[in-house]
Each structure stands twice: as C-alpha cells, then as structure tokens.
Amino acid sequence: MARIAIFDYGAGNLFSLKSALERNGAEKVDIIYDMSDLDRYDGLVLPGVGNFDPAIESIEKGAKRLDSAIEKGKPVMGICLGMEMLFNRSEEGRLEGLKILDGEVVMLPKGKVKVPHMGWNNLKITARGKNSSRFLKGIENDSWVYFVHSYKTVPADKKLVVASSDYGTTVPAVVEKGNLVGVQFHPEKSGDVGAKMIKNFLLMCEQAKAAEDKKSK
C-alpha cells in the first residue's frame, strides 16, 4: 500500500481529495506544506485548489526537490491547477510555471464557451492512451468526469495527451509522461471512473516503491 503526500498551496479545502485517496486504498495520506520530507512518501498529488501565482510562490522553494523526485521516478499527479503548474507559463498569472512539461496554459475562449467550465464531460482516449496509459487502464472511451476550470493546457508535445475532452474547444484532459500524470478534471469528484483512476495512480506508486526497494537491495 502507498503513502501519499498532498501539497497544500495554502488554499486548504483538501478533505475530499484526501478522503478519496484513503477510500481507494492509500495506506497513509498526509497534507504537506513543503517538499523537505518528500522522500518519506511513495507518491505526490498537486491538488486543484488555489490560484496560479500564489501556488507557484508556495511551491518554488521545493521545486528542485520535486524535479529530482520526478527524475527518480516518484509518481506525481497534478489535478487541474496542479496540472497547469507543471507547464512553462499560464495566462492566469505572471510568474513562470515549474517547467517540468513544455507548453503553456491559456484561458478557455470567452464568448465561445461559458467560463468557467463546470460540470460533467466525456473523455476521448487517444490511441496511446488506450495502448499504454497506466493511469487510464480499465477506463472506457467516452467515460464521464467532472470539470471545474477556466484554463486549459497547450502541451508542446501533443503525444503527451492520452485523453481529451470537447468543450467547444479541445481540452487536453489527461497528460502522461512516465510516472507523471496531469488531469484537467477532478478525479475525486468523478464517481466510479475517478475512483478507478485514483486506484491506478496508487498502483503506480506501489510499483515504483517496489522497484526502488528492489534496487536498494
């Protein structure tokens, strides 16, 4: 079983996410405020609560530690804002993003669609998502998930996108690179489909932990 850390940007209100992780099999879930003890955990979740610049300010002290953890294969899931922070920049803020993934974050097209996008929408899983995504294993095409967002990511490498959603514009809904996963929707609010995704993420954490334990022996 996996020990999971949720990084709190200072916005709080992380109870439903913590509960969802515990309910779906996490051994232990802690809310952390810096990256100093990241090595104690098998996986990290960057939640979707807060605004871009304050969130970047709160996490930038631990950015190098986060980069190192990702390079070593620690599973990380970014949800909504947590996903957007992984990219180079966002129209929501003036600060630079974490630059872990190449690309930018832009506002949904006002006048064309209602902003924020709030509600259920279905997923279009790409060929790569169907064939090799561990996060989407067992998830059917056209599954419905719950969105609350005003921005979308524009990855430089389109192959990172393993699922998208149509909201008058194409929204990259899931990006995946190794043990790094970003989701624009909220799996903790997405019923059985979201629960399955959370279980898949926890399995990724358990597998990474087992691989690390084997390497250290």
The domains of the chain are located at 3-216
pLDDT of res. 36: 93
pLDDT of res. 12: 76
pLDDT of res. 213: 81
CB 55 within 8 A of CB 63: no
Q: What parts of the chain have a pLDDT lower than 70?
A: none
pLDDT of res. 11: 78
**Tokens, residue 212:** 């690390």
pLDDT of res. 215: 80
pLDDT of res. 93: 97
- What are the residue numbers of the active site? 80, 186, 188
Model confidence over 15-68: pLDDT tens digits? Answer: 999 999 999 999 999 999 999 999 999 999 999 989 999 999 999 999 999 999
CATH code that applies to domain 3-216:
3.40.50.880
pLDDT of res. 150: 97
